[in-house]
Structure 1
């Protein structure tokens, strides 16, 4: 029986691939997480463990995932199956993780899009916290922070409509294909993001108090370098900001042509991501310095991360800006939208590519089937009055017990159980200017698993310590989300164990075959 042949696209250019990978890595966490993490873990001194983590874990893991994707020419489940049949479950586990993340990540983009509009006239008023939790998320009726976990509440109509629009645009981009959709979007949005954020930072640097904010951000606390927690935080920031460990980079790299430079691309993406995080830190702390000056309070009382920083602290700051407050707010929330959107596209691409490759579906079929299902799940659950609680819990558990653990298992499986490190190193070196040697194995196969293992132990200890203050429904939901992703991955892999993978043909190779057929199989020697 002749296997079905599935033609897979290639990136149009290497620059397009790099921009798409940067778009995936540069997301909401770069803007609203990194500045606070750096400040709380030694300020300028945090740059030391952060750069060590980038060079010893982030880039080595990027190189591994890029090489797996290009070498085995398939989405995460297909690539892992081709590498070793027993590892296919890791790919499906990563697909399940991406489904969970995409479902709640999209609603944050919808929040940011609405706040970009609110910023024009500072619709949030004098009390941004009340506006966020009561007027906006609470639909004007309840305080979203006081709801019990089991209280679904009601849908927020405007948020539901904007979330639906986010999903329509996302699925249109993915449905258009790798080259016409994802690559074209990245070529427009990533330069636009850099320009917009650059303008935002320049404006922030002109504010009174900006220098004090930067002093607080960069002044090193060298004593923190002996604190193991600081090092774990640095590695954690690298893992969660580079989009490694949940199938994105494997999937993106699977569309590379066989002669693409792997190691240079990995260094470019890693350094670009870290550069943007540093830029975000400069911008955020310039603004926090201004806020501290205006309020007469210390800068450390202004520091926050996540939802609190983006949707409470920044609106309060915007209210006090001496000029161009609407422009500043629109730029800030516009940057959140763009950074989040390019990341969302990459996250959804993982399950779409998986069902395409594994079941021989067309791009349109895959987008409608799996992309539409995730969008429906997202629209049903997260624009409700208790959506923030669902989001926070899912995010906490899927990051702590999903991404980090899947990354750990993938490294152990690839490097130590399947013993593929030498083959992957040779494959990467064959087409790369910068060659990797045994130091790459030490960083990838020893340093990274040890750090990920320590993070897992630390996360478990933290969860146990905090269980007393968390209701059983929240814990049940969190463990169900994290454990369900693993169980789903294992079950799908078991069901498909005897089902062969369709023949996946690289687009460039298919064109070469067609040309050879037309010329009678003779090589052009001219």
Structure 2
């Protein structure tokens, strides 16, 4: 069975829009502002910039180089680097499967809240409405016992949109969708920020966010937080950028594109921080409290704090529609990229055409998503899966990639040479130092620090039995599935990765990405 010719981006701009769309996700809007606020305010921007230049952009360039060099999805690309390394690629695919399954339901929530913004159905108590009336959440985590129709139907609609876009292909589907979504997202957020800055108390909120606490720079945890934010916000570590770069033409400015994508993502995060804290400043002023008493992140910010603000502010309905519309758009562009990783891997592995692969693979992810998450236990399953798959999936997988590729196989110089040959801006020794020393050490410390907290007390106080299957079980299951898939033979001749040939026709081409980091922590705290 011969494999279909590999699709390609229609232009470099198309790839750039898709990469930016993948990077800009829910975490940019609801995670960065709180992380910056809690870690020195304006002073946090210094370690944040250092982390971007020493970890974020270097990792982006590495993933671009792997995808562009081998023109394959993560499993096939890592297989060409080293046969045993194929398991890393399948690990990333399994991670994407898990993240996509729960990420879609958050988008579905935002879809419903666009409508709720006009009627303010959450009433006087947005917290009780979200967990009770809307999610119908069980009192404690456990197995699924009931389905929630108000979440189920928008979730089905979200998956229908994503699968249609993916079925249309790289150029006609993903590229065109991102060229429409990203400018629309920027317009939405610029209008939203402009409105937020005119609110009473906006200055108080911005002062809370940007007033620098220079003493925080002496705290190692602040620097770790900066690296963690950059890492989780750029869609690196779980195969998205390897996959997207595999559809580039041979001549592609990998380094320049990584710089643009990295700084565009960071610019949007800062814009989001301005909008969020200007709004929280209004909320604090209205309630006569300090900004620190209303500052929150994740689900608590989006679906509890912001609805409360919308009810108190003039023209709240329009503000709410813009905010939740922005969440939907940012979520969709990221979800599309995450699902594409799984589809590309199956295509490379089996030689399947795009539409059957989208219907089969995408349909399977959608089915898992629909069966598990629009339920009375969905919020707990989502929270546990998000925490453990991010901490012990995405971050750990990236650490393993750097250790294997950089330390064991010593292939970083080869990828540096490839990036230099394809780019206008050449990489120097700093790139090797960052990926060979700085980033692995930071990721390693993040793992140690996270595990220390994990074993000191149960995450969110959840029962150990629940965490064993919904948290640790999910993270370990991704590794087990990856190992099993890597041991299966590549029976399809068309799907079997071939050895790299410099200047091959396959590389020539004729036409030319996360976090997740959704930040769903503190569910019990918000609920109570």
TM-score w.r.t. structure 2 length?
Answer: 0.93
Kindly indicate whether residue 496 of structure 2 is the aligned counterpart of residue 502 of structure 1: yes
Which residue pairs with 2:475 in the alignment? 482
- Correspondent of 1:255 among 225, 247, 252: 247
Q: Equivalences for 1:42-61 in 2 at 5 Å?
A: 42-61=40-59
**CA distance 1:437–1:508, change in 2 (3 Å):** closer
- CA contact 2:351–2:492 (8 Å) conserved in 1: no
Kindly indicate whether residue 454 of structure 2 is the aligned counterpart of residue 463 of structure 1: yes
Q: How big is the shift at 1:147?
A: 2.4
The superposition leaves residues 352-378 of structure 1 with CA deviations (integer Å, 9 ceiling, x where unpaired) of 000001110100111111110000000
**CA distance 1:511–1:336, change in 2 (3 Å):** closer
Which residue pairs with 2:235 in the alignment? 243
Kindly indicate whether residue 1 of structure 2 is the aligned counterpart of residue 9 of structure 1: no
The superposition leaves residues 447-487 of structure 1 with CA deviations (integer Å, 9 ceiling, x where unpaired) of 00000000000111011011394312222121110010011
How many matched pairs?
Answer: 503
Q: How big is the shift at 1:276?
A: 0.3
- 3-state SS of paired residue (1:7): coil
Which residue pairs with 1:518 in the alignment? none
CA–CA separation in structure 2 for the residues paired with 1:230 and 1:304: 18
Which residue pairs with 1:516 in the alignment? none
CA–CA separation in structure 2 for the residues paired with 1:489 and 1:503: 17
Q: Equivalences for 1:60-139 in 2 at 5 Å?
A: 60-138=58-136
CA–CA separation in structure 1 for the residues paired with 2:420 and 2:497: 26
- CA contact 1:8–1:506 (8 Å) conserved in 2: no
CA–CA separation in structure 1 for the residues paired with 2:317 and 2:510: 51
- Which is higher, the Rg of structure 1 or of structure 2? 1
**CA distance 1:333–1:156, change in 2 (3 Å):** same
Gaps in structure 2 of 5+ consecutive residues? 499-503, 512-528
TM-score w.r.t. structure 1 length?
Answer: 0.93
Which residue pairs with 1:141 in the alignment? none
CA–CA separation in structure 2 for the residues paired with 1:41 and 1:307: 20
Question: Once superposed, what is the RMSD of the aligned Cα atoms?
Answer: 1.6
Which residue pairs with 1:192 in the alignment? 184
CA–CA separation in structure 1 for the residues paired with 2:428 and 2:153: 52
Q: How big is the shift at 1:284?
A: 0.4
Q: How big is the shift at 1:256?
A: 0.4
- CA contact 2:141–2:462 (8 Å) conserved in 1: no
- CA contact 1:4–1:502 (8 Å) conserved in 2: no
Kindly indicate whether residue 286 of structure 2 is the aligned counterpart of residue 288 of structure 1: no
**Range with greater deviation from structure 2 (254-263 or 415-424):** 415-424
Q: How big is the shift at 1:386?
A: 1.3
Gaps in structure 1 of 5+ consecutive residues? 139-143, 513-526
- 3-state SS of paired residue (2:141): coil
CA–CA separation in structure 2 for the residues paired with 1:503 and 1:386: 42
- 3-state SS of paired residue (2:457): helix
Which residue pairs with 1:18 in the alignment? 16
